[in-house]
Amino acid sequence: MFNKILIANRGEIACRVIKTARALGIATVAVHSDADADARFVKLADEAYRLGPAPAADSYLRGDLILDIARRSGAQAIHPGYGFLSENEDFAAACEAAGIAFIGPPASAIAAMGSKSAAKALMERAQVPLVPGYHGERQESDFLRGQADAIGYPVLIKASAGGGGKGMRIVEASADFEAALASCQREARASFGNDKVLVEKYLPRSRHVEIQVFADSHGQCVYLFERDCSVQRRHQKVLEEAPAPDLPPATREAMGAAACAAARAVGYVGAGTVEFIMEVLADGSPGRFFFMEMNTRLQVEHPVTEMITGQDLVAWQLAVASGQPLPLTQDQLSISGHAIEARIYAEDPDKGFLPATGTLFHLRAPTESAVVRIDTGVAAGDGISPFYDPMIAKLIVWGEDRRQALQRLDAALADYQVAGVTTNIPFLRRIVQHASFAGGQVDTGLIARHHDALLPPPAAPEAEQLALLALAEALAAPGAYPASAGWRLNGALSRSLVFHIAGHDYPVTLRHLGDGFEIAAAGRQFSAAGSLDGASLRARLDDKQLEAVVARSGQQRVLFAAGQRLEAQWLDPLAVAAEDVHGETHLKAPMPGRIVALLAATGVKLNKGEPLLILEAMKMEHTIPAPADGVVKAFYFGTGEQVNDGDELVDFEAE
């Protein structure tokens, strides 16, 4: 076994690898960009070395620098995590040439599976079932469109070198093919440096089921059962669970055998995931399954497999990479209970899941236990950078059955408190509570099919929530009542507060009665009292006792109460409001990025929602729509130009 390894990654996966290495007595070396100099994984590692500036191309993708640091630090092996260099056959080969073990498959296996087109040809020879499609070398737009026409719509255009949901587009009709192809290729070039695509038949009702495989250098290969990753948005996984709901044992065994056949076909060694797409029949039961791709690395969702098997897959990786045989044989592996993972992201589901950046000025996670696990790379006070994936944490729960796991997941999500960025936690809770998901009726179209229920318009705040915000505001400065602006003496000290929530102002009147307060909010009156300890609020509203948290930063207030989160801006009457000198006609960049296309002409009337431009950020394309009926007066940036968060993009004149 190694005594020192280098981790060529960042964030939660770097922390995850460090945890197992430390348990095994293996020293760890971290490498970091300038943006990550103070990150959690850097502090956890035994040693840390600077790589370069924040952009991944100048840091985490610099295999030459990483190998040099490995030599200087005396690391015997490199763990690539996932993403970055984890599926780069040139880097794996360079490690081997340098005499440093690559904790992953051989370069030849990565190369064989790295191209989706080549991998599908290989799987066809290995008699692994494939989805009908074109996986060849020709990439002319007209030719690919002809292939799509022959396959029959809908079709899926997919980046051949892709992964993580990037470089994928569903096309419903021939007339839409060319634009979708161009967008897919742009995103593929930005994400993978390769714009080659394949075209496949898209199955409207399908499930995404993947098999965890493991092989050693002694010729053994096993599968550690399946994970269902069907709940997706924009082809990116949202929830993953193991085992897959209602999967017949015979189908599980057949998929496992096919996955091991795929691994053996490329001489695989280490951890890998063979992904299948599975038909959903008219009665909702699973039908045929087809090979999609093989990920030649550890998956983001590997913890659910660990929870149901009781195995540490990183420990398995280290053992296999050091030349040891697999710890267990196939007949020694079994499934225990049910596990579900929720990916908690800094993103705004109400704005098309636009990634969010900012500082986590408040972060409180559920208590970890044998049945609740949190894999994270951030702590309170850390920033979510525009340079990397905006994941905050992975929340994994275990139950004796799926019903219990769902119940525990919902409770843990309700306990998760994040302030400083918008998150997808409320969206995750709505999925978990939805009857279709709770009933196991999962497929890749679940979110789109139940869009209105899962993404409802923001609700007006409840009177009780407004009262708690006002009470916390008063308790935060108990001696300031007479001197504060807005207080007046008319038998009792009284003040008007205004909270700006989801685009609307909500006034609250608060009267100081000596031993408490009288609060009027949203048509209700409350007799209130309480105490504030930091962000923790203990309150009494009439005869009801409540505990809440009110996180504060500048004018921002985030209330956590009864499992709900409410974000507000306190409109301080003493603060001078910052006026936008250009008015509401100037659209600003929601985050840093690059303009990849201007889609509207100046002076031409547009309808609300029509696309104005495409902004590439975090290697994903985001379309900026017209906010109302009107015309574009001017674009302030051209195609290919970089923009910063808040830069004015468009002078748009609304009717």
Crossing angle of helices 116-125 and 249-265, in 10° steps, is: 110
514 Cβ partners below 8 Å, 6+ apart?
none
Strands 338-345, 286-295: parallel, antiparallel or unpaired by DSSP?
unpaired
User: What is the separation of C-alpha 632 from the centre of its chain, rounded to a whole number of angstroms?
Assistant: 33
| Closest by CA position to 231, among listed 136, 154, 340, 151 | 340
In angstroms, the Cα distances linking 492 to 296, 517, 520, 574 are 70, 10, 14, 22
Helix (DSSP H) and strand (DSSP E) numbers for the chain:
17, 40
Crossing angle of helices 177-192 and 141-151, in 10° steps, is: 120
Does the annotation mark 297 as catalytic? yes
Query: In the Cβ-directed half-sphere of 586, how many Cα atoms lie within 13 Å?
Result: 12
Strands 648-654, 197-201: parallel, antiparallel or unpaired by DSSP?
unpaired
Encode 324-360: b = buried (16+ Cβ within 10 Å), e = exposed.
eebbbeeeebeeebbbbbbbbbbbbbeeebbbbbbeb
Encode 476-511: b = buried (16+ Cβ within 10 Å), e = exposed.
eeeeebeeeeebeeeeebbbebebebeeeebebebb
Rounded Cα gap, residues 336 and 548, in angstroms: 36
- The one-letter amino acid at 186: R
Catalytic hit among 40, 145, 297, 402: 297
- Report the SS3 class of residue 290: strand
Site of tokens 């407004």 = 466
Q: Return the sign of the alpha-carbon dihedral for residues 352, 240, 21, 1.
A: negative
- Report the SS3 class of residue 548: strand
User: What is the separation of C-alpha 586 from the centre of its chain, rounded to a whole number of angstroms?
Assistant: 30
Rounded Cα gap, residues 540 and 622, in angstroms: 45
Are the C-beta atoms of residues 339 and 405 closer than 8 Å to each other? yes
Residue 8 has phi, psi (to 5 degrees) of -90, 60
Task: Indicate the Cα dihedral angle 19, 394, 417, 534, nearest 10°.
Answer: 10
Are the C-beta atoms of residues 539 and 475 closer than 8 Å to each other? no
Rounded Cα gap, residues 529 and 467, in angstroms: 11
Rounded Cα gap, residues 242 and 335, in angstroms: 9
Crossing angle of helices 11-23 and 313-321, in 10° steps, is: 70
Active-site positions? Answer: 297
